[in-house]
Structure 1
Amino acid sequence: MTAHRPIAATHEATFPDSARTTFAAAYPDQPVALSHNLVGHSLLSLDALAMLAERMPASSVEYNLGKLPLGVRPEDTPSNGLTLGETIRTIETNGSWAVLKNVERDPAYAALLDAALADLEPIVAARTGPMLHREAFIFLTSPGSVTPFHMDPEHNILLQIMGSKVMTIFPARDEALVPAQKSEEFHGGGHRNLVWQDGFKALGAPYPLHPGDAVHVPVKAPHFVENGPAVSVSLSVTWRSERSVAEGELHSFNALLRRRKLPVGTVSDRPEKQSVRRLVYRVMRKLGA
């Protein structure tokens, strides 16, 4: 994991004071609605994003049809039959969903990410230590598109830039939603999509997002997204922490133990404190276990 790049001493705040106060009260364990100041930013227009997408490596772009069931299997996700450039330039009418991954590899977007996270860094450092492995993702979605029920391994804030959507967020660490073996598979490289059951919906909290709105999504909090009646552009700024790294290590350790039919351990809500189990896992991994 790498620490952050140096940040200029002054910048226009991405998150206003009120949003930073709200974030501080919720981080790291609770989802919470926030606000931001990036609406209308020149780097986040459709034209700028189409140009960015066309110069990105194919491995950094994912796109497909957007009107999907909440519980669609990864292998059943249909292609939209268009090139990436066509997808973005005609996204208002083509019924698609696209994500541009790791846009921080482009210097201009790296500066955008750094400025956003600089506003939050003192809060994060006090709770979960340094921001590690900082990344940015941009989501473009056609009207009515759905991002299926899934989870992500990072601390995440989604900023709505254009259009509207509703993100429904579920409690993290609820094994009724994410069984322990699914977490183990996920940290071993398994897909982020989760099995959906209709009874789950009552457990989630909807967060409506319009331009200028944002939402904090805790590590591995399951969620799905339903797009509104217009094209949506959203920016996701993410980071890892010792806590998120520790959780991944402990689930990977449990997967190793389970394969050998040995008793698995509990992953606490403060996994960074489970130092003995983490040390044993690292030793076993180094020995090729």
Structure 2
Amino acid sequence: MTAHQPISAPVFPADTLAAMAALYPLKAGLLRHHLPDHPLLSIEALAELAESMPASAVEYNPGNVPIGIRPEDVPSNGLSIGETIRTIDTNGSWAVLKNIENVPAYRTLLMDLLGELKSVVEPRTGAMLTPQGFIFISSPGSITPYHFDPEHNILLQLRGTKVMNVWPAGDERFADRREHERYHGGGHRNLPWQDDFHADAQLVPLAPGDAVLMPVMAPHFVANGDAPSISLSITWRSEWSYRESEAHAANAALRRMGLDPAMPPRWPSYAWARSVGWRIARKLRLVA
């Protein structure tokens, strides 16, 4: 594995930190980065990384899938993960390498990048918990289906172009509270899609040097441009994001009891009592 190459200058310039301060943690928006070509992020380095990872840490499939495809309907591309990455220019696929922080050189890179954001993040949502990194490798024209994620996230575009299509987090028109409950009960991240969602999308075009701030649980899908793409996603959790997750899990338990609980409030408010109740119930093994 290629050793970590120290980054000599800040990756996130001052104007990006200022832009992030105006958005974080509730709004998606365009940022900039100066992450240089890095030996850990070349196609061959990524193929070698993927081949060294457990199967649970890689996900890949054909890239020409519908926006709203169900997880169980996603087909195989018939290749190994190494072949998928090395031939990404022509094989019409999409791949993600998960939890790269488990590899020391990549963890160092991740922590270097997150360290530059602390001055914006920590005054607003507290300590940056559970740092994780994900790398996306996509063929021209590929689609990442409509879904949401539980982390605070900045995605850095390194090669190629794509358009991030984003909807407001916490808006039940685009992700019903039952979808949140299903996900936080262990379900898949993909969401039901309706074509009329397009009218309300926030479009964030990305080229190399661009980045996008993604709020916790903001529904989105990604449309790749006409060239192969590599993107690095740096993520973290906060006490607030964990409490929101616990509130949705508590709601799922209440729904199984025949109740219809309301959608938990978003930051800076949160369902404190519901979250604490969920933690106590888990500790006492009153819920699964």
Q: Give the alignment's TM-score, normalised by structure 2.
A: 0.94
Aligned to 1:162: 159
1:215 to 212, 217, 220: 212
Give 1:266 shift: 4.1
Alpha-carbon distance in 2 for matches of 1:273, 1:191: 24
1:10-37 deviations in whole A, cap 9, x for unaligned? 9531211111110011100000100111
Seen in structure 2, the aligned counterparts of structure 1 residues 67 and 39 have a Cα distance that, compared at 3 Å, is farther
Structure 2 residue 111 is matched with structure 1 residue 118: no
Equivalent pair of 1:247/1:271 in contact (CA under 8 Å): no
1:201 to 183, 198, 203: 198
Alpha-carbon distance in 2 for matches of 1:210, 1:219: 23
Seen in structure 2, the aligned counterparts of structure 1 residues 266 and 79 have a Cα distance that, compared at 3 Å, is closer
Aligned residue pairs: how many?
A: 280
Seen in structure 2, the aligned counterparts of structure 1 residues 273 and 84 have a Cα distance that, compared at 3 Å, is closer
Amino acid at match of 1:217: M
Give 1:277 shift: 2.2
Moved over 6 A (4+): none
Amino acid at match of 2:222: V
Q: Give the alignment's TM-score, normalised by structure 1.
A: 0.94
Equivalent pair of 1:246/1:272 in contact (CA under 8 Å): no
Identify the range of structure 1 (229-238 vs 50-59) with the bigger mean alpha-carbon deviation: 50-59
Alpha-carbon distance in 2 for matches of 1:58, 1:170: 31
Aligned to 1:6: none
Give 1:263 shift: 4.8
Q: Structure 1 stretches of 5 or more lacking a match?
A: 1-9
Equivalent pair of 2:11/2:33 in contact (CA under 8 Å): yes
Equivalent pair of 2:244/2:275 in contact (CA under 8 Å): no
2:14 to 12, 17, 27: 17
Structure 2 residue 25 is matched with structure 1 residue 34: no
1:32-80 deviations in whole A, cap 9, x for unaligned? 1001111412211111111111111111101110111100010110100
1:72-92 deviations in whole A, cap 9, x for unaligned? 010110100001111111110
Q: Structure 2 stretches of 5 or more lacking a match?
A: 1-6
Aligned to 2:4: none
Alpha-carbon distance in 1 for matches of 2:52, 2:131: 21
Amino acid at match of 1:215: V
